[in-house]
Amino acid sequence: MTKRRSKLHRPVGDVLLTMRERADALSQGQQRVDALARRAKVSPPTIIRFCRALGFAGLREFKLHLAQSLAVGTSTLHRAVVPGDNMQTVTHKVLQGAASALANLEQHISPDDVERAVTRIAKARRVDCYAVGNTSMFMASDAQARFSRLGLHSNFYFDAHLQLVSAATMNRNDVALAISHIGRMPFLLETVDVAKEQGAMIIAITRPDTPLAKRADIVLPVVVPADPSMRVGTEAYLAQMAYIEILMVGTGLRRGPPALRQLKRVRQVLQERGVDSETHPVLERAWSKGELQLS
């Protein structure tokens, strides 16, 4: 007789975040462990089931990760770094935090929403990218550059006036990609409202339940732990970057061979002019002439 083994989810680095995210999926007894911690009076099997529900092999592994999360909760530089950590430890914790954030992010991505987004972008007459804030502005600019390389008509606006002008000229064949981790800047919300009135699809990269998210047709949710030192921390930045990459790759697949030919042509032009090459063609020709003169 074979013993049935329950399928375990792979645990992620931030135990406290994992507990909060999966609280609704836990049984009543498991939720008591989550809520009451050490004071909970539950049976040992319930504790083991609770640990496994979070992706850990047993109580020992859970206690180790929980202790690490609790010990670093008051850091003002990084949520996992404490005074006295050497640079090897700092490097490990920062990279582990980034990896954990992306692993947690995957649990919140809806494949159906991504499918809808890339399908609509691939067929759009125009894709305009809006953003507020330094990080989001960089992301929107990068998105515009990537879409343009696929042969899409795409623009990037961060100025409030130009965003409104762009939104006012949209129609139902267009897509507005709005990026804002905070998701509540008034002039960005106003721009999104105007674009929506014009019939454009609104795709938002933002935190869930923000005013921006509530206005969007499709939300790509940025669910990462709060950064102790920056309003928009590195993990939020990485999440936004991941979404941009997903949208570009998915859109390129939907547009097919013409998009791939466009990418190759752009790369060829840049390489020929020394933008994406180790040395500039002009320098290579100059060195070649110099060598001929010396020979």
* Domain boundaries along the sequence of the chain: 15-106, 111-269
- pLDDT score recorded for residue 144: 97
Percentage of the chain lying above the pLDDT 90 cut: 44
Q: What is the CATH number of domain 111-269?
A: 3.40.50.10490
pLDDT at 226: 73
Residue 70's pLDDT band (cuts 50, 70, 90): low
Q: Could you give the angle at which helices 59-71 and 15-22 cross, rounded to 10 degrees?
A: 110
**Intrachain domains 15-106 and 111-269 with the same fold:** no
The stretches of the chain forming alpha helices (DSSP H) are 15-22, 28-36, 44-53, 59-71, 87-106, 111-123, 134-149, 160-168, 186-197, 211-215, 234-255, 257-272, 281-294
pLDDT tens string 190-223? 999 999 999 999 999 999 989 999 999 999 999 8
Q: Which residues contact 205 (CB under 8 A, 6 or more apart)?
A: 139, 177, 178, 179, 180, 220, 222, 240, 243, 244
Is CATH 3.30.70 the classification given to domain 15-106? no
Q: What is the DSSP letter of 198?
A: T
Identify the pLDDT of residue 46: 77
pLDDT greater than 50 at residue 251: yes
Distance CA 124, CA 230 (A): 35
